[in-house]
Amino acid sequence: MTQPTEPLPPHLAEPTRLGGEISITGKWTPKQPGGRFRKSEDSKEMLHEWEDIHAGARSSDGVLSTEINHAVGEDAVLVHHVFEDAEALAHYFSTTATEHMGALTAVAKPELHIVRGTTIPDAARAGISSKGVDAAFGEHLFGYVKDDYRKPDPETAINVTAKWTCKEEGPLDELRYWWQRVGTDAYSIEKGLLRFEAYRVTGEDALIIHEVFENTGELKFHLTKGTAEKYKKDIDKIAEPEAYFFRGPVSWTIRTYSKFMHLPATYSSQGSNFTRPGGSMSDGTVA
């Protein structure tokens, strides 16, 4: 079967300005989770370790931003780091991460970590993989960023990072086509979808999709009336979502609605966070 193709529109073909930056968004859960109303000792220790790691990351050269996000409705954290380049990432994993890995893995376990960049050098892959972390490495394919890469208001913006994996070997070009359709249409009909990027996962028939919405209302429109509603059935025929990481103030109605869309979602609210002066191209620049 011939896969559908079409040229990239100008707004998706614009070269990315990520440069050498690399971002990581990952999930950690306690080995012994707590109940609905009380956290376990492992959970408390996991949070304590991550606060220490956050403090170390802030002082590490080349860490442009770092976040410890508390999961909503489950005992977990979503962590997010942006590194200036592969050298900064390797330095972090050989120092701060190494210092805390023993204590952290005694009480917690890593789940999928989504790594994004223009390219991911071998040294960066090795630094992450050496810690026993399940990671998907995505290299930039196409996308757009509105407002000249300025960082949206963190009080209202919602970052969504997802991994979609093909059901059968081969239809990656078709999966790419349908996500290209999302990015093509969303640029004009979803004014509040401020950032849309697609990354190819190296070594897998999979894509990473990163989207940033101006607020929860824009995300609701995307899911119910926008490009997600328009193209999800086509995408579902050929691929499955492996993970959906939401960072930001997602309303409970959207959390409920996403369950009907069968998204393996982790929602989180922002905890400790730090951004270096000027920000980054990965999360947005700060004046």
**What does the chain look like in DSSP terms, one character per residue?**
-PPP--PPPHHHHSPP--TT-EEEEEEEEESS---SSS--HHHHHHHHHHHHHHHHHHTSTTEEEEEEEEESSSS-EEEEEEESSHHHHHHHHHTHHHHHHHHHHHHEEEEEEEEEES---HHHHHHHHTTT--EEEEEEEEEEESGGGBPP-TTT-EEEEEEEEESSSSTHHHHHHHHHHHHHHHHHH-TTEEEEEEEEETTSSEEEEEEEESSHHHHHHHHHTSHHHHHHHHHHHHEEEEEEEEES---HHHHHHHHHTT--EEEEEEEEEEE-TTEETTTEE--
Closest among 159, 114, 132, 148 to 23, alpha carbons compared: 114
CATH topology of domain 140-271: Alpha-Beta Plaits (3.30.70)
Closest among 139, 138, 146, 128 to 183, alpha carbons compared: 146
Pairing of strands 239-247, 265-275: parallel
Residue type, 2: T
What is the model's pLDDT at position 253? 83
Task: Tell me the three state secondary structure of residue 261.
Answer: coil
pLDDT tens across the length of the chain (287 residues): 456 778 999 999 999 999 999 999 999 999 998 766 567 899 999 999 999 999 999 988 899 999 999 999 889 999 999 999 999 999 999 999 999 999 999 999 999 999 999 999 998 999 899 889 999 999 999 999 999 999 999 999 999 999 999 998 669 999 999 999 999 999 999 999 999 999 999 999 999 999 999 999 999 999 999 999 999 999 999 999 999 999 999 888 888 877 778 899 999 998 999 999 999 999 999 98
pTM above 0.85, yes or no: yes
What is the model's pLDDT at position 37? 57
Count Cβ neighbours within 10 Å for each residue of 263-273 and write b for 16 or more, e otherwise: bebbbbebbbe
CATH tag, 18-133: 3.30.70.100
What is the model's pLDDT at position 36? 60
Structure tokens at 281: 């191209």
What is the model's pLDDT at position 1? 47
Location of each CATH 3.30.70.100 domain in the chain: 18-133, 140-271
